[in-house]
Structure 1
């Protein structure tokens, strides 16, 4: 399997953001592990599509990949002699207001001159001055299972050096949200503060639930006799199954609303869960059912298509 994210999603390098998102959703829906238990190939396609989408959905990250600055996993590619320029571009560089040296001369000589001037301003030799700089910020992409995004949870990111970064997932996070982990980026220099880690989230699709704002939407199949006679049936929610009442004489498409059973993100009221009922006929219509419906139809015929038709 190609590692190129464009090949993984089956799109061209000129694809729009919408085309990339649509390609990812198609693969995620077709290859979701919940729909293909035990299928290692489907799981690999699902994970590869998620990683490719994470890289390409952010315009800045996509541009860096296209320029060859990062690889398909989002890791920095080796760059030659970039330390001075990277340092000079930092917003907290105290020497940025002075003379700028990009674009001419040998950078090692320039950096030595930079240190010499600083030591002169301080009235001390370079040896007596402690150089400090804040650590670099790091950026990661993380795919979060739907229920963890809805209810909150904890996940780990494996770092290139073999370490791990613990990420607390607040309940109610949404697609594309970025979490800032203070002090979890690159180490500082000379006692300087560590950088921050930025984690951009993508939400793994769920085979049963979808999210609309803070509402959760699902479809619940019911039998013909449950629709006719009414019943209490079990329905899934993001917090676990609950009993709901199917009213007598229910039609397909009727929606039940469970107040407060949707997304309960901090700082705003909880959403609802909407359950759309769908009548499913028995796998076989036997003679008894057919005769009953024929007799019932003769006595109680009705035409639901008549109303509202020209």
Structure 2
């Protein structure tokens, strides 16, 4: 006799669809044949919980089971059915065969056999080769079907994208995926976690988890291929007299010599300080620390313009 599907999944009869999915995924991770190669007991348990999950996530079948219209193996509770000529027979979940149904119920039972064959997609009755349907002089083997992919999207800072590392994603079922972020990942990149999608049917492989990366823009840093661009604030004094400054980078501090007389819009290059042999391209930007500083205002009011000509002649 087939086992109670609620007992197999370890859930109550009032469990929600989400609770059933969560329980199934937790068991499937432990019992999947890829995790337990050569373990027949684990393989049979995996088939049982998969069939139980399929029955309980089909609202109509679950209602029929709860009301006693079908038993735990999906067999209709019909006291007048003959085991040798009609109905479903075989032990365990998914062990259904159709053997030439007769009488007025044949069409409905044919449909039910097809439904169970497509839903359960496995043979639990000690038979081999997957579920079969007999009739019209031929035998058909259920075809493997790969599981669907699941898509996720994660967001990270510019610094996290440059450094790489680990990210943890919480799935809809309450599980977690650990994602390895490669160093220098670009915005819009899609990472693939093989076998972490929906489970396959009839021996088909599990789908993949596809993780799309979204990199938040930074106020001062940006990517230019393998080069990193940086808008670097410098003081008026540093621009006039020059200076040696420390530049904080996501992967450590670098030293930069600012030549005397540096203007905003100049580009300074540090070779090999980008990504994978790329360069760090620095655009100094003269920035007033406190534009309303009284001493700065007094200095500007008293200062004479240095040099001759109009500074904006270049625009004409």
Aligned to 1:180: 192
Deviation for aligned residue 1:280? 2.4
What residue ranges of structure 1 are gaps of 5+ in the alignment?
1-77, 82-104, 265-269
Q: Which deviates further from its counterpart, 232-241 or 244-253?
A: 232-241
SS in structure 2 opposite 1:236?
strand
Could you state the TM-score of these two structures normalised by the residue count of structure 2? 0.52
- Cα distance change of structure 1 residues 107 and 223 upon mapping to structure 2, 3 Å threshold: farther
Distance 1:158-1:238 versus aligned 2 partners, 3 A rule: same
Residues 1:278 and 2:285 are matched in the alignment? yes
Structure 2 unaligned spans of 5+: 1-56, 61-107, 119-131
Alpha-carbon distance in 1 for matches of 2:136, 2:192: 36
Change (3 A) 1:308 1:148: closer
Aligned position for 1:12: none
Q: Shift in Å at residue 231 of structure 1?
A: 0.6
Measure, in 1, the Cα distance between the counterparts of 2:137 and 2:193. 38
Question: 1:166 Cα deviation (Å)?
Answer: 0.9
The structure 2 residue matched to 1:213, chosen from 219, 225, 241, is 225
1:156 is the counterpart of 2:163: no
Q: Which residue of 2 aligns with 1:293?
A: 303
Q: In the aligned structure 1, how far is the partner of 2:221 from the partner of 2:133?
A: 63
- CA change 1:116–1:290 in 2 (3 A) is closer
Contact 1:140 1:200 in 2 (8 A): yes
Note closer, same or farther for the CA distance 1:118–1:281 as it changes in structure 2 (3 Å cut): farther
Structure 1 contact 256–276 (Cα < 8 Å) conserved: yes
**Which protein has the larger Cα radius of gyration, Structure 1 or Structure 2?**
2
Deviations 1:235-270 (A, max 9, x none): 232322212001011112211112222233xxxxx3
**Is the 1:237–1:261 Cα contact (8 Å) retained in structure 2?**
no
Q: 1:157 to 1:185 in 2, by over 3 A?
A: same
Displacement of 1:290: 4.5
TM-score if structure 1 supplies the norm length? Answer: 0.53
Count of residues in correspondence between the two structures:
196
User: Judging changes above 3 Å, is the alpha-carbon distance between structure 1 residues 306 and 154 closer, same or farther for their aligned structure 2 residues?
Assistant: closer
Contact 2:199–2:206, Cα closer than 8 Å, also in 1: yes
Structure in which a larger fraction of residues adopt helix: 1
Equivalent residue, structure 2, for 1:138: 150
Equivalent in 133, 154, 166 of residue 178 of structure 2 = 166
